[in-house]
Amino acid sequence: MAITDINEYAHLTDADVEALGAELDTLRREIEADRGMRDVKYLRRTILAHRALEVTGRVALLGSRSRPLWLLGTGALALSKIIENMELGHNVMHGQWDWMNDPEVHSTTWEWDMVCASPHWKHSHNYIHHKYTNVLDMDHDVGYKTLRVTRDDPWQPKLLLQPLTNVVLAALFEWGIGLHDLDLKDVISGAKPKEIARPQLKLFARKVGKQIVKDYVLFPALSGPNFTHTLTANLTANLIRNLWAYVVIFCGHFPDGAEKFTADILENETQGQWYLRQMLGTANFDAGPAMAFLSGNLCYQIEHHLYPDLPSNRYAEIAVRVRALCDKYDLPYTTGPLAVQYFQTLRTINKLSLPDRFLRATSDDAPETASEKRFAGMPQATGLKAAIRELRARRRRR
């Protein structure tokens, strides 16, 4: 049901994949050689914007219980948290700015403004997710151990609640991320050794305590009689940040065209095949400069997965080159309006909550689940985009 032979699925030979990998390696080297002051200025301006918005929000909430100031304070705090999490925390901890050798913005020192402890996120995200992107039973971000987003996962009765689970996960997204690497089921069952679980749980508890005190005790208390006023503002700002982060991440991984792979694909995987898996397993969404900035430039999820440690402000220019390579090798470049990408994601989550007997498409040729078997009987020489177009034309003629 998932892709077992990436070359066959992509309609590329070994030589094609090697050539694609070489061109992507060259692009990496060019960007690395060109990093410099304009990138540093971008980062410094981002940090300044984040801090200015946080100060604006805190001050607005101190002075009055008026509705306009509450809206100003809440909006400024929400934007501050979004920028810190998406454009700073996520990207700094990917090592995108390690080349500066600045301890303030280094992957080993940054701790972000959310309940997830950075070491846990770096393990579950930087290592597990980016190394095993969309590989079934290895990349835990495929459904976040909670949602069924591919027919490769067997249906269970509890999945009937998946639409509701999705809403809860969206609202509490920072908590989902924070718990993601802890494997609480294994901790409870004893499958995870106590000597590993205990330090992780202690670190998580310390981070949660710090965040709760900061957002729901300290700053509300500093506002004196405006305690409740500030408390609700902080709750709302965190909710807005959670919902936005959820939409951005889900639209990068679960729209139509974000393919999944079996573990067999990792055997003797070349660098070119790893690149190809990132290109086929992720999706972008269309965004202007403002939306790109607020998404941490993760509207360029394809480029991010190809080069997770290159500065995010370079993804727009990288995208032009990657798109040209997709055209050259007849590969799809999965993107679309944010609303469309999220609608496709939501459709997948809702329909896969149902038993398979209610699903219409085949398990090898569905919008959310496909394999190389979808092209059975078609000439291998046909490029992937051309093959997909032909499949769609055949369905229309039926």
Residues 289-313 pLDDT 10s = 999 999 999 999 999 999 999 999 9
Residues 249-254 have a mean pLDDT of: 98
* pTM for this prediction: 0.95
Confidence of residue 27 (pLDDT cuts 50, 70, 90): very high
Q: Provide mean pLDDT across the span 375-382.
A: 77
Asked if the model's pLDDT at residue 396 lies above 90, the reply is: no
CA distance 66 to 71: 9
Distance, in Å, from the CA atom of 139 to the CA atom of 263, rounded to the nearest integer, reads 10
SS3 322: helix
Residue 398 has pLDDT above 70, yes or no: no
Reference 309, options 95, 126, 21; nearest CA is 95
More confident site: 173 or 380: 173
- In percent, the amount of the chain with pLDDT more than 70 equals 99
Q: Which helix (H) or strand (E) holds 27?
A: helix 14-34
Strand, coil or helix: 365: strand
Q: What's the CA gap between 205 and 218, in Å, rounded? A: 18
